[in-house]
Amino acid sequence: MAKYFSIVPWQEEVKIYEWKEPDKDSIDSTIEFLSKGTLLEVLRFFLFFRIERGEATKVITRYMQYRAANKITERVLKNLSGEIDKNKGLIWHWQGSGKTLTMIFAANKLFRLLGNPTVLFIVDRIELRNQLNDEYCALDIMKPEVIGTIDELREFLKHDSHKGKRGVFITLIHKFKPSELRELEEKMKELPADSDIVVNRKDIIAFIDEGHRTQYGALASQMKNILKKAFFFAFTGTPISKTGRDTYNEFSYPPEEPYLDEYFISVSQKDGFTKKIVYQPRLEEQHLKKELLEEFMRNEFYEELPEEIKDDVEEGVKKRFNAIKLWFENPKRIEVVAKDIAEHFKACVEGRFKAMVVAGSRKACVLYEGELLKYMPKSHLQIVMSDDRKEDELVRAYVESEEKRTGKDFESITKDAVEKYKEKELPKILIVTEMLLTGFDAPVLQTMYLDKPLKEHRLLQAIARTNRPFGDLKEAGVIIDYVGIIGEFKKAFEQYRAIKEDIVSAVFGFESVRGEFTGLISEILEMFREIPKTSERETLLKAVEVITLSQETEKEFVEKCRKLKRLFELLGSDSAKAENIEKYNWIADVYAYYRKVVVQEPDIKPYIDKYYDKALKGVYESIQVEKSSKELPPTVFDDNYFEKIKQSAKDKREEAASILFALNKMVLVDRYKSPIYESLVERVERLMELWKEKTKDYEKIYLEETRVLQTIAQLGDRKNKLGFNDMEYYVLLRLEEKFGEEKELLQNVKDLSETLRNSIYPGWIGQVTIRKEVEREIRRFARSFKGKYNLSMDGIEGLYNKLIEVVRNYGG
C-alpha cells in the first residue's frame, strides 16, 4: 500500500496517510499514486504550508479530498468548454473527515487554472464563517476577503460596472435578503442582456458549507437569481431529504447522480480519520416526557435556527415549544443533572480528555455553570454562547459579571477560552447551547453531555464534535444522553433514503463496548492458550516468546492491547470491568513485561511533559506492572547495563532473551544513534532469526550475543582512543569495510572532517546551497580513492552513496 506524508524536518511527528483509489486494490492504488500525473498534481495543487500559533507545518491532501476536489474541477472545466451542461454537485463527506480543506483544495486549483475567477464560500453561521476564514488564512495561498455586511455585498456585486469582484470571498447566506438587493437586481435588468455582468458570468464558483435549510426559500432564491450562471457545490456531512427542501434536488442530479462524491461514516472510521461514537442514557427519570419528545420528533419547524434569522421566525412557532424549553431550564432538574455530570466527568473523563455540556438555552448554560461550580473550580468551566444579554436577566447579569471580572468583552472571553480548551489544560468543560455544535474541531473533546433536544442533521453535527482521533488515546466519542433523544436515533433518520444505514452505524450503545471488550480479551488470551495465566517471570517470558515469533504476531498483540486499554478506560465504572479484571490484569502484566524486555521502554517520567500531561499518565496507570517487570534493570544503556541483566536473570534462557531484546533496541531500533550500532545491524538481525526458530538453542544465541557485546566494547574503545566523533568514526568504518584497515585512512577522515567543519551544523540539510556544497565535497572525496584502489565509476558512486548517508545521519 502507498503510505505518504509531507516532509517537515523540524517536527518530531508527522501525519501518515494511505492512498486509495476506487475499485482498485492497494497495489494498483500505489501505482496510481506514484504515477507522474498524480504526484505532480499533488505537489502543484494539494500541498500547502500552514502557520498555526506561530508554528510552521505542511498540509497534504487525503485521498478522498483529492478525489472530490478533482471531480469539482473537472465538472467546471468541462462545462466551460461546452462538453457538459451540469453545473452543480453534492459532496457528502462525514463530519471530521476534512470537508473544509476539500473545499479549499478545489477552490485553489480552480482559481489558478481559470486565471482570476470569483470563488465564493457561503455559510449560514458566523462561527462557521470565522472558522473557514481562520483555516484559509493559515495557509500559504491567496487570502479570502470576508463580506461581512449587506453594504459590502452590494459593493462586491456592483464592482467593475456590475461585473462583480474577482478573487476568493466568504459570506453568509443571510446577506442575500431580497428587500436589500431588490434595487440592485432591478438595475442589472436594465443593462444589456449579453453584457459581462455578474448575473451572466459563468466563471463564478460557489461553495456552500452544510447545504441545509438556509439553502432553501427566499434567501437562496435571491442568491441564485443574482448568480444565475454560477456553479454551486454543496458540502455536507448530513444531507436532508424532505418534501420541499431536498438537498439532492437542489444540488445534484438524482437518481443517476445523488452525489458528485461520497465519503461515508463507515469508511471514515475504517481509515482512522474519525472515531465511532457510543452513547449512554443516564437519569432516565429526567428525560423529556414522551409526549413532548414525540411532538419534537414529529414537527419539522422545531430545529436549531441560526442566530441571524431567529427574529424572522413566526412567533407562534416559538410559543408552541415553550413547554420543551421550560423543561430544560428547570433549576431543580439542572441541579440533579449537573451533579451526575460532575460525578461522571471526574470518574471517566478528567485527566485524559475534555468534555462539553450542551444545554437547552443560554439561560440553561448559566444555570449549569452555577450548579457545576459546586463540584469544581471556575477555571475548569467556560460558557461559550453569543452575547444576547437582552434575552434574559440571568444571562445579562452573567455576561456583565464576566466582562467585569476579566476586563474583556464577552466575545473575546469566549474566543480565548476556546483556544485554551484546544491547547491548554484549562478549561476542561465548555458549556454551550448553539455555538460550537458545527465546525468545532477539538480532538481532546471526548464526552458530550447532551441536555438539549436535537434531531436529524443538527443531531449528527453536534455529536460528531466528539469523533476526532486524539493520538492513540481515544477509542470513541461518548454521548451522555439526558434527553432521551438518542434512543430515537433510527426513527430520526427514516427519511434519509439509502444513506440511513450508514448514518445509524455512526452511533453505538454502550452494550457494544462491553461486547467488544470481553471479545477482545478472549482473542488475546487465545494467543496464549497453552501458557498458564500466572505472573511469574518464567510464564511471562514464555508469553513474550509467543509474541515475538513473527512481526505479524507482535504487531497484532500490541494493537490489540492498546485497543483493550482504550476500551477499559471507556467503560468507566461498568460492571464488565470487574467481571473480567483478573484476565485483564494478566494481559496487562504480559504487555508491561513485553514493553520492558522487548521494547526496552525507559522510565516514563522524562517524557511526560512532551505530551498532554494527565492523558499520558492515565494510559500508563491503567497498566498493572507487577513485581516481575519492576525487578528488571532500568533501560539506560550504559557500561553496566548488560551486567545488570546477567545478575537479574534467573537462568540462561531469560538472560539470552533479555540481552537479545536489548541489542534489538540498541542496534535495530536505535541504529542511527551510534555508528557502532549501525555497523552491527546484520549480526543482530541474524540473532533475531535464531530466536524465531521453533526449537531455540539458547546457548548458541547467548554465545553469539556475547561476541556482539565484545565487538561493541572494542569499537567503542577504539573510537574513544582515536578521539573521533560519530560522523568521523562511521566514515572510517565505511572506508575500512571497503579497503581494509590502513593508517592512511585515518588522515583521510580527518582531512574530510576539516573540509566540512564550517558546513555541517544543525539544520544544514534544509539549506539547499550548503547541502549541494557538502555533496560536492563528498563526491570529490570518493573520487580521490579511484587511483590507489582502481575504483570503477560504479564503485565511486557506491562509495559516495554510503558516505553521504553517513554525513546526513551523523553530521551536525
DSSP string computed for 751-766: HHHHHHTTT--TTGGG
More confident residue, 324 or 529: 529
CB under 8 Å to 477, separation ≥6 — which residues? 275, 276, 277, 278, 445, 446, 447, 448, 463, 464, 465, 466, 467, 468
List Cβ neighbours of 684 (8 Å cut-off, separation of 6 or more).
663, 664, 667, 668, 708
DSSP code, position 257: B
The residue among 626 and 519 whose pLDDT is bigger is 519
Q: What is the dihedral of CA 238, 240, 241, 244, to 10 degrees?
A: -170
Residue 494 pLDDT exceeds 70: no
Q: Is the pLDDT of residue 402 over 50?
A: yes
Task: Determine the Cα–Cα distance for residues 174 and 229; give it in Å rounded to an integer.
Answer: 20
* Residue 260: DSSP 8-state: S
Scan for cell 456592483, then name that residue: 158
Q: How far apart are CA 81 and CA 72, in angstroms?
A: 14
Who wins on pLDDT, 412 or 242?
412
The pLDDT score that the predictor gives to residue 317 is 53
- pLDDT band at residue 403 under the 50/70/90 scheme: very high
- Inform me whether the pLDDT recorded for 44 exceeds 80: yes
> For residue 532, what pLDDT is reported?
92
> What is the structure's pLDDT at 243?
44
Q: Is the pLDDT of residue 608 over 80?
A: no
The pLDDT of residue 633: 43
277-505 has the same fold as 61-271:
yes
Place of cell 433549576: 331
**Sign of the C-alpha dihedral computed for residues 674, 680, 682 and 685 taken in this order:** negative
Give the mean model confidence (pLDDT) for residues 154-183: 87
Please give the Cα distance from 258 to 252 (Å, whole number). Answer: 6
Lowest mean pLDDT across 8-22, 57-71, 367-381, 583-597: 8-22
How many CA atoms, within 13 angstroms, populate the side-chain half-sphere of residue 126? Answer: 13
**Burial tier of 663 (Cβ tally within 10 Å: 0-12, 13-18, 19+):** buried
The domain made up of 61-271 has a fold known as Rossmann fold (3.40.50)
- For 779-799, the pLDDT digits (tens) are 999 999 998 899 999 999 999
Cα 535 to Cα 33, 165, 508, 582: the distances in Å are 48, 73, 35, 11
Delimit the domains of the chain by residue range: 61-271, 277-505, 511-626, 633-722, 725-810
Higher pLDDT, 54 or 83: 83
Quick one: pLDDT at residue 606? 40
Q: Any idea which of 133-137, 156-160, 710-714 has the lowest mean pLDDT?
A: 710-714
**pLDDT at residue 621, rounded to an integer:** 41
Would you list the DSSP string of 318-363?
A: HHHTHHHHHHHT-HHHHHHHHHHHHHHIIIIITTT-EEEEE-SSHH
Percentage of the chain surpassing pLDDT 70?
83
Question: Strand pairing partners for 145?
Answer: 169
In this predicted model, what pLDDT tens digit does every residue of 742-792 receive, in sequence order? 989 999 999 999 999 888 888 788 788 898 999 999 999 999 999 889 999
pTM of the model: 0.75
Strands 354-358 and 507-509: unpaired
Peptide bond into 255 cis (omega under 30): yes
The CA distance from 306 to 172, in Å, is 11
Q: How confident is the model at residue 619 (pLDDT cuts 50, 70, 90)?
A: very low
* Interval 165-189 mean pLDDT: 84
Q: Which residue has the cell 528488571?
A: 632
Strands 145-147 and 231-236: unpaired
Which pLDDT tens digit goes with each residue over 189-217?
777 777 888 889 999 999 998 755 555 45
- Give residue 559's pLDDT band: very low, low, confident or very high (50, 70, 90): very high
Q: What is the mean pLDDT of residues 485-498?
A: 60
Highest mean pLDDT among 19-23, 299-303, 699-703 belongs to: 19-23
What pLDDT, on the 0 to 100 scale, is given for residue 430?
98
50: three-class secondary structure by DSSP: strand
**Least-confidence region, from 58-62, 134-138, 506-510:** 506-510
Q: Are 93 and 235 in contact (CB under 8 A)?
A: yes
Compare 138 and 614 and report the one with higher pLDDT.
Answer: 138
Mean residue pLDDT of the chain comes to 83
Which residues does 103 contact at the CB level (< 8 Å), separation at least 6? 121, 207, 209, 233, 235
What's the confidence (pLDDT) of residue 613? 40
Confidence label for 389 from pLDDT (cuts 50, 70 and 90): confident
Q: What H or E segment, with its residue span, contains residue 436? A: none
pLDDT band at residue 632 using 50, 70 and 90 as cut-offs: very low
Distances (CA, A) of 343 to 328, 478, 485, 575, 712: 20, 15, 22, 17, 56
**Can you read off the three cell numbers belonging to residue 61?**
491532501
Report how far residue 264's alpha carbon sits from residue 499's, in angstroms, rounded to the nearest whole number: 8
Among 3.40.50.720, 3.30.70.2190, 3.40.710.10, 3.40.50.300, what is the CATH number of 277-505? 3.40.50.300
pLDDT score for 69: 98
| Residue 247's pLDDT band (cuts 50, 70, 90) | low
pLDDT at residue 62 tops 90: yes
Would you say residue 117 has pLDDT above 70?
A: yes
| Amino acid at position 227, single letter | L
Average pLDDT of span 182-194: 77
Q: What is the pLDDT of residue 13?
A: 75
> What is the predicted pLDDT for the residue at 459?
85
- Check whether 283 has a pLDDT greater than 90: yes
- Per-residue pLDDT tens for 435-488? 888 878 899 999 999 999 988 778 888 999 999 999 889 999 999 999 988 766
Residue 792's pLDDT is 92
